[in-house]
């Protein structure tokens, strides 16, 4: 049992939390490099919030260059117990129309793991760990999030599979059809490896997708353009900001322990006498509980 400290990762369309009290931007250094921005720290009522704009203020950072490791590590260092991520997505289903919301419950990861800012784990040589991603989001947080969107006046689908693509280009029509055949419901560029890293850092994670467009699978419709996405983002952003307030208001006064708080208990395979001290030093926040 304890207090909530909610990390909000705001994607395209959500760059600030207007209702935050005692707000101040604080730089949090990470051994994994530069986070996307400083963290806006404050509270709504008695709940502490830590807001991080995923692309930086001014939307400066493209999806493939978002340093998700630094972002998650910085939020952990800022005291976050749980993470609510909000992100714009394209729809791969007719019923998920632009302007609606999807609380995601599964992912297909098609991001690149080569050079760039997308390493998908905090661990490596000298400290090996394998966390389960069978159920990649927190059911408890996702339920609170879906209820919050409804209270904010949004239409929300409870559950959906998010296809994470590399970007920054949008899909080809052939890719869009393929992803539909795979069972994906929405498509975006940033939820992976973010969700995997949150799991490794033992922070329960939920994702609200704000639908901006129909991608390009509809043969009789125009393909997606940035101008269309921006216009819909602005409309979605108003509901998303209200949803954050309802989300906070709907949290129980006391945070009950989650099974996701201790996933590393069953994930680390490297015995203590074989662990690399330099690797352990970088993991002081992410895995400090078990080190």
Helices 139-151 and 226-249: angle between axes, nearest 10 degrees:
110
To the query of whether residue 18 is one of the catalytic residues in this protein, the response is: no
Question: What is the C-alpha end-to-end distance of the chain, expressed in Å?
Answer: 22
Task: Please tell me whether residue 251 adopts helix, strand or coil conformation.
Answer: coil
Q: Cα–Cα distance between 223 and 212 in angstroms, integer?
A: 12
Tokens of 117: 């800012």
Q: Which residues pair with 187 in a beta bridge?
A: 90, 163
Catalytic-labelled residue, pool 215, 238, 261, 284: 215
Catalytic-labelled residue, pool 3, 213, 238, 273: 213
Say if CB 87 and CB 210 are below 8 A apart. Answer: yes
To the query of whether residue 109 is one of the catalytic residues in this protein, the response is: no
Residue with tokens 């939390």: 17
Alpha helices, H only, the chain = 68-77, 139-151, 173-181, 191-200, 226-249, 277-282
Q: Report, as residue numbers or ranges, the catalytic residues.
A: 213, 215
């Amino acid at each position: 049992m304890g207090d909530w400290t909610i990390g909000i990762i705001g994607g395209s369309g959500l760059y600030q939390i207007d209702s935050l009290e005692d707000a101040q931007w604080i730089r949090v250094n990470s051994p994994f490099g530069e986070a996307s921005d400083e963290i806006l720290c404050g509270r709504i009522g008695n709940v502490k919030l830590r807001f991080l704009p995923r692309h930086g203020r001014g939307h400066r950072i493209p999806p493939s260059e978002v340093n998700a490791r630094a972002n998650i590590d910085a939020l952990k260092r800022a005291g976050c117990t749980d993470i609510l991520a909000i992100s714009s997505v394209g729809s791969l289903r007719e019923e998920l129309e632009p302007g609606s919301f999807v609380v995601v419950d599964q992912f297909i990861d098609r991001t690149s793991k080569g050079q760039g800012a997308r390493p998908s784990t905090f661990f490596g040589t000298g400290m090996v760990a394998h966390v389960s991603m069978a159920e990649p989001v927190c059911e408890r947080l996702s339920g609170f999030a879906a209820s919050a969107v409804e209270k904010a006046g949004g239409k929300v689908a409870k559950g959906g599979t998010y296809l994470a693509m590399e970007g920054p280009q949008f899909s080809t029509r052939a890719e869009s059809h393929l992803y539909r055949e795979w069972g994906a419901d929405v498509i975006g560029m940033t939820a992976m490896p973010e969700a995997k890293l949150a799991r490794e850092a033992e922070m329960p994670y939920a994702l609200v997708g704000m639908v901006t467009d129909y991608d390009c699978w509809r043969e009789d419709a125009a393909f997606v353009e940035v101008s269309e996405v921006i216009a819909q983002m602005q409309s979605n952003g108003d509901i998303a900001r209200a949803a954050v307030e309802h989300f906070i208001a709907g949290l129980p006064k006391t945070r009950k322990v989650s099974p996701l708080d201790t996933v590393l208990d069953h994930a680390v395979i490297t015995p203590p006498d074989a662990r690399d001290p330099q690797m352990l030093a970088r993991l002081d926040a992410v895995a400090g509980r078990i080190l």
